[in-house]
Amino acid sequence: MEKSREKIFQDEIIDSLTSNGWLLGEPSQYDRELALYPEDVIGFVHDTQPDQWEKFCQRYPQESDKALLKTVATQLSKVDPNASEKEMRKYGTLGVLRNPIKDRGAYIELCAFKPDHTLNETTLAAYKKNRLRVVPELVYSPHGYDGRIDLVLFVNGIPIATLELKSEFKQSVERAVKQYKKDRPSKDPATGKPEPLLTFKRGALVHFAVSQY
């Protein structure tokens, strides 16, 4: 009974998002190793930066799509103890969303922010091509752990938020908080390897425990 109530709650959130322009994703299309939704990473670059994409493909003529995903994942995960504070701001999820990725002469942006005015039609057009996606029941771990997160939100294929849902009719939202603390470790207990989606700076920016209230 509780699961069915949570499912209704989950569907209501999904319906609200998709009715406002969000795309509904499939968990099977998520890349657990890279913690990316590849279709949207590649699609956004194709749609908004054809010149830079062509330049990137010239540098990586074989499997350009895979090369792009690898470049993005590397920038998300990068740790350089010798980098300046300014340089470090370009790494991790927030850094990748805010700053272009530079790779062999190609400058690729992974997010288009809303312009202050409508005079620049190119910037406005790019903003409208941002891909916002919600993916339900995401099995996120590349290490064999089959735990699911109720909803994960993406911007252009990059995860920005996770949501654990609880129906207040039977379980309080504190149960979701405990799930994050006890059942969603940032490292796989068996191998000690990081869980990309849940790693600080590299994974989703925020994790929400959500109830009807």
3-state SS track over the chain: CHHHHHHHHHHHHHHHHHCCCCEECCHHHCECCCCECHHHHHHHHHHHCHHHHHHHHHHCCCCHHHHHHHHHHHHHHCCCCCCCHHHHCCCHHHHHHHCCEEECCEEECCCCCCCCCCCCHHHHHHHHCCCEEEEEEEECCCCCCCCEEEEEEEECCEEEEEEEECCCCCCCHHHHHHHHHHCCCCECCCCCCECHHHCCCCCCCEEEEECCC
- Determine contact, residues 160/154, Cβ cutoff 8 Å: yes
Q: What is the pLDDT of residue 79?
A: 74
Give dist(CA 114, CA 118) in Å, integer.
Answer: 9
Q: What is the pLDDT of residue 115?
A: 87
Q: What is the pLDDT of residue 24?
A: 98
Q: What is the pLDDT of residue 82?
A: 73
Q: What is the pLDDT of residue 171?
A: 67
Q: What is the pLDDT of residue 207?
A: 97
Q: What is the pLDDT of residue 169?
A: 66
Q: What is the pLDDT of residue 13?
A: 97
- Residue-by-residue pLDDT tens, the chain, 213 positions: 556 788 999 999 999 999 999 999 999 999 999 999 999 999 999 999 999 999 999 999 999 999 999 999 999 998 777 777 777 788 999 999 999 999 988 999 999 998 888 777 888 999 999 999 999 999 999 998 888 999 999 999 999 999 999 987 666 889 999 999 999 989 988 889 999 999 999 999 999 999 988
